[in-house]
């Protein structure tokens, strides 16, 4: 290898057939796949020479990786790693896989929105009791997405793809994002997906005005990362501001929504239903009252699961690696001031 060879280490056991886009990039890229769960699972000699690290949670001490210039995570959320000394390494670029899980997560959101709108939790409960629901013509009238207002809090890759899916169904989209002055998407997105130019919503709100948006929504989806700004952002006052009979869906990260306030809003029927895929503490304790909350769909943080995730992840990493080779700005670069 020449002196300007870029040493790339992947610590995940990615299938060889998914790695072709990386191996075909450039002769000066030397790709090593060394599965590891802990830093000590890879030899010191390997850590010392790598320039680019692709990993999930294997974060060596900064002194062990003197040549590391870029850390690419295998996930969109990296709140688990924010206290790692490695992220404090001078000059280190840190990027996430925001966008790789967006197609699956957006489909999940659409699935539970339709399930709530058409009373599937009630219908499944009746089926478990072998019960033909009484007064079904009154009790089970759906709240159709067509003609409804759907709010999306966190207009990132998931929110933008959900907006694209909702458009043909005839829903009005409201959105809220960290920087409402820039509606365009400056992160990674696959061609044909999402809302790269910010054209699919009727109105865009800053996070500071999210309560005003919630008052207008028949359905609301929370898809923000967990940051100091978003932690507890949807609290008791925000939930109380929602329209009576509205529905709430929460993906992304737990800790953004006040679960106690949400439980109360379901119990007193202020909200007609909700779906939670993420929780402040995971796994959700068997004793949590959320398991038995009325009209609540509970799922175990699986919204982004996909059989195609590794392929999409490698495609994103390859796109970023091409930019790294040419000195272009990287997609999804972590900004400590924003927390994501």
pLDDT of residue 3: 52
Where helices occur in the chain by DSSP H, the ranges are 20-23, 44-49, 102-117, 120-128, 136-139, 157-166, 210-214, 236-241, 259-267, 309-326
pLDDT of residue 1: 40
pLDDT of residue 292: 95
pLDDT of residue 4: 83
Q: Mean pLDDT over all residues of the chain?
A: 95
* Same domain, yes or no: 117 and 255: yes
pLDDT digits (tens, 9 = 90+) for 245-289: 999 999 999 999 999 999 999 999 999 999 999 999 999 999 999
Please give the share of the chain, as a percent, with pLDDT higher than 90. Answer: 91
Let me know if 253 is a catalytic residue: yes
pLDDT at 2 > cutoff 70: no
* Same domain, yes or no: 61 and 47: yes
Q: How far is CA 86 from CA 63, 230, 268, in A?
A: 9, 24, 47
Q: What is the DSSP letter of 233?
A: -
* Same domain, yes or no: 80 and 199: no
Within 10 A of 2 (CB to CB), how many other CB atoms are there? Answer: 7
Provide the residue count of the chain: 340
Of the residues 301, 308, 323, 338, which is catalytic? 301
How is residue 281 written in tokens? Answer: 């503490």
Burial of 208-242, coded b for 16+ CB within 10 Å and e otherwise, reads eebbebbebbbbbbbbbbbbebbebbbeeebbebb
Distance from C-alpha of 260 to C-alpha of 275, rounded to nearest angstrom:
14
**CA-closest candidate to residue 8, choices 41, 37, 49:** 49
Q: What is the DSSP letter of 163?
A: H
Distance from C-alpha of 75 to C-alpha of 95, rounded to nearest angstrom:
9
> Of 105-109, 204-208, 298-302, 335-339, where does mean pLDDT reach its minimum?
335-339
pLDDT of residue 116: 98
Task: Tell me the mean pLDDT in the region 299-304.
Answer: 98
Task: Tell me the mean pLDDT in the region 309-318.
Answer: 96
pLDDT digits (tens, 9 = 90+) for 195-205: 999 999 999 99
Distance from C-alpha of 305 to C-alpha of 321, rounded to nearest angstrom:
24
**CA-closest candidate to residue 35, choices 7, 14, 8:** 14
pLDDT of residue 293: 96
pLDDT of residue 322: 95
Cα radius of gyration rounded to whole Å, the chain: 22
Let me know if 308 is a catalytic residue: no
Let me know if 138 is a catalytic residue: no
Of the residues 281, 282, 308, 338, which is catalytic? 282
Q: Count structural domains, the chain.
A: 2
* Same domain, yes or no: 77 and 144: no
Of the residues 119, 178, 253, 312, which is catalytic? 253
Beta-carbon contacts of residue 264 (< 8 Å; ≥ 6 apart): 236, 270
* CATH classification at residue 202: 3.40.50.720
**Taking a C-beta distance cutoff of 8 angstroms, is the pair 92, 70 a contact?**
yes
pLDDT of residue 259: 98
* Same domain, yes or no: 147 and 287: yes
* Same domain, yes or no: 148 and 276: yes
Q: Return the biggest CA–CA distance within the chain.
A: 77
Report the sign of the C-alpha dihedral through residues 152, 123, 255, 100, in that order: negative
pLDDT digits (tens, 9 = 90+) for 29-46: 999 999 999 999 999 999
* Same domain, yes or no: 92 and 115: no
Domain that holds residue 233: 102-298
pLDDT-derived band at 187, boundaries 50, 70, 90: confident
* Same domain, yes or no: 110 and 230: yes
Structural domain includes residue 1? no
Beta-carbon contacts of residue 155 (< 8 Å; ≥ 6 apart): 163, 175, 176, 177, 183, 195, 198, 201, 204
Structural domain includes residue 270? yes
Q: What angle do CA 192, 173, 260 make, to 5 degrees?
A: 115
* Same domain, yes or no: 89 and 139: no
pLDDT at 57 > cutoff 60: yes
Distance from C-alpha of 190 to C-alpha of 18, rounded to nearest angstrom:
17
């Amino acid at each position: 290898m020449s002196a300007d060879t870029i040493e790339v280490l992947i610590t995940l056991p990615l299938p060889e057939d998914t790695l072709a886009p990386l191996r075909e990039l450039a002769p000066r890229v030397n790709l090593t796949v060394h599965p590891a769960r802990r830093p000590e699972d890879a030899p010191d000699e390997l850590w010392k020479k790598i320039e680019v690290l692709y990993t999930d949670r294997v974060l060596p001490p900064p002194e062990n990786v003197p040549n590391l210039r870029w850390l690419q995570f295998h996930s969109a959320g990296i709140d688990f790693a924010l206290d790692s000394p490695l992220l404090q390494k001078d000059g280190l670029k840190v990027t996430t896989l925001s966008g790789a899980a967006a197609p699956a997560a957006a489909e999940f959101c659409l699935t539970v929105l339709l399930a709530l709108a058409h009373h599937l939790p009630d219908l499944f409960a009746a089926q478990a009791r072998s019960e033909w629901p009484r007064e079904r013509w009154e009790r089970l009238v759906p709240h159709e997405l067509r003609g409804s207002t759907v709010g999306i809090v966190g207009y990132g890759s998931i929110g933008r793809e959900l907006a694209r899916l909702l458009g043909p169904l005839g829903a009005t989209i409201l959105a809220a994002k960290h920087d409402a002055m820039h509606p365009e998407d400056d992160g990674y997105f696959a061609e044909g997906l999402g809302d790269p130019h910010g054209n699919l919503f009727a109105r865009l709100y800053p996070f500071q005005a999210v309560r005003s948006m919630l008052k207008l929504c028949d359905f609301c989806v929370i898809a923000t990362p967990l940051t100091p700004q978003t932690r507890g952002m949807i609290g008791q006052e925000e939930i109380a501001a929602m329209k009576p009979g509205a529905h709430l869906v929460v993906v992304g990260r737990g800790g953004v929504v006040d679960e106690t306030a949400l439980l109360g809003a379901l119990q007193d029927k202020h909200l007609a239903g909700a779906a939670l895929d993420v929780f402040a503490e995971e796994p959700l304790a068997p004793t949590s009252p959320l398991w038995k909350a009325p009209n609540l769909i509970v799922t175990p943080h699986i919204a982004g699961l996909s059989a195609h995730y590794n392929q999409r992840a490698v495609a994103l990493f390859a796109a970023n690696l091409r930019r790294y080779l040419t000195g272009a700005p990287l997609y999804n670069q972590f900004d400590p001031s924003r927390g994501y």
